[in-house]
C-alpha cells in the first residue's frame, strides 16, 4: 500500500512553515534600521558630553586668568566682575542628556556661555592697555590655553551639530519616523548661533 502524502498535516510536511514568518520579520527589522535611532541617539549624547567637557575646561581656566589680570589692572574692576559673574552663571546652567530634546534648555545654556564669551573678550581686550600684563609669562600661557580651548569648543560644537542633524533626519523621515513612534524618540535641540559669533577675540602677542 502506497503511503499517501495527502494524509499528512501541513506542519508535518513543512516544519519550517511556522518559523518562516519569524525569519522574514527578523530580516525586515534588520534591514529597515531598527537599531539606527538608538545608535544615532547615543552618538549625539556622546558628542554633547564633549561639548560640556570643553566648556568646563574653559571655566576652570578663568579664575587664574582673572587673578593674573587683577595683579596688573586692579582698576579694571568692572570687567573683572563681569567675567566672574558670567562664569558663575555659565557653570550653573547645565544641560544633561535627558534635556537635549528641550530647545529652551539648550537656549539657556548657549546664552549663558555666550555671555561668558563676551565678558572674556572684554577682559582680553583690556590687556592691550597694560604692556607689563601682555608680556607676563603666566598671562601668555593662560591666553594660549584659552585660545586652544576655544578651538576645541568649536570642534565639539560642530561634531554635536552634525550628530544631531543625522539623528533628527532619521526620526523625521521614513522608515525612521515609524521607529521614532515605537521608541518615543523626539528630535534633539541644537545650537542656533554660529560658534564664530561667540568666541572671544584672538589676541596675538
Closest CA to 106 of 40, 192, 173: 192
- Residue 52: give its domain's CATH number: 1.20.1440.20
> Widest CA span of the chain, in angstroms?
114
Cβ pair 149, 61 in contact under 8 A: yes
Whether the per-residue pLDDT at 12 is higher than 90: the answer is no
The pLDDT score that the predictor gives to residue 60 is 97
Contacts of 171 (CB under 8 A, 6+ apart): 37, 177, 180, 185, 186, 187
Instruction: Retrieve residue 69's grid coordinates.
Output: 589680570
**Which pairs with CB-CB distance under 8 Å and at least 24 residues apart come from 162-167?**
162/47, 163/40, 163/43, 163/44, 163/46, 163/47, 164/44, 164/100, 164/188, 164/189, 164/190, 165/190, 166/40, 166/43, 166/44, 167/37, 167/40, 167/41, 167/43, 167/44
Residue 122 domain flag: yes
* Sign of the four-CA dihedral 133, 135, 137, 142: positive
Residue 145 domain flag: yes
Residue 15 domain flag: no
- Residue reference for cell 534633539: 188
Closest CA to 60 of 184, 146, 148, 156: 146
pLDDT tier at 26, thresholds 50, 70, 90: very low
Residue 172 domain flag: yes
Q: Measure the CA–CA gap between 2 and 37, rounded to whole angstroms.
A: 57
Closest CA to 145 of 21, 82, 62, 49: 62
Number of neighbours of residue 78 by Cβ within 10 angstroms: 9
Residue 152 domain flag: yes
Whether the per-residue pLDDT at 17 is higher than 60: the answer is no
Residue 165 domain flag: yes
Total domains present in the chain: 1
Q: Express each pLDDT in 148-201 by its tens digit.
A: 999 999 999 999 999 999 999 999 999 899 999 999 999 999 998 655 455 554
Please calculate the CA angle 160-195-95 and round it to the nearest 5 degrees.
Answer: 50
Q: Express each pLDDT in 32-46 by its tens digit.
A: 568 999 999 999 999
Residue 6 domain flag: no
Residue 34 domain flag: no
Q: Tell me the whole-structure pTM to 2 decimals.
A: 0.80
Residues spanned by the domain of 137: 45-197
The pLDDT score that the predictor gives to residue 21 is 56
Q: Measure the CA–CA gap between 25 and 16, rounded to whole angstroms.
A: 14
Amino acid at each position: 500500500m502506497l503511503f499517501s502524502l495527502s494524509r499528512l498535516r501541513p506542519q508535518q510536511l513543512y516544519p519550517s512553515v511556522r518559523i518562516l514568518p519569524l525569519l522574514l520579520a527578523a530580516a525586515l527589522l534588520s534591514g529597515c534600521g531598527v537599531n539606527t535611532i538608538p545608535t544615532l541617539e547615543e552618538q549625539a549624547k556622546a558628542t554633547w558630553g564633549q561639548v560640556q567637557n570643553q566648556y568646563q575646561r574653559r571655566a576652570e581656566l578663568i579664575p587664574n586668568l582673572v587673578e593674573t589680570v587683577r595683579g596688573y589692572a586692579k582698576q579694571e574692576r568692572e570687567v573683572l566682575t563681569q567675567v566672574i559673574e558670567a562664569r558663575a552663571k555659565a557653570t550653573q546652567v547645565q544641560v544633561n542628556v535627558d534635556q537635549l530634546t528641550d530647545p529652551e534648555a539648550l537656549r539657556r545654556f548657549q546664552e549663558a556661555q555666550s555671555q561668558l564669551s563676551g565678558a572674556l573678550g572684554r577682559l582680553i581686550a583690556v590687556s592691550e592697555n597694560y604692556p607689563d600684563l601682555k608680556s607676563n609669562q603666566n598671562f601668555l600661557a593662560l591666553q594660549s590655553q584659552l585660545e586652544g580651548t576655544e578651538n576645541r569648543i568649536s570642534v565639539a560644537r560642530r561634531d554635536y551639530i552634525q550628530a544631531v542633524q543625522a539623528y533628527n533626519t532619521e526620526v523625521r523621515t521614513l522608515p525612521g519616523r515609524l521607529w521614532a513612534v515605537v521608541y518615543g524618540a523626539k528630535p534633539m535641540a541644537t545650537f542656533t548661533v554660529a560658534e564664530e559669533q561667540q568666541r572671544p577675540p584672538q589676541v596675538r602677542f
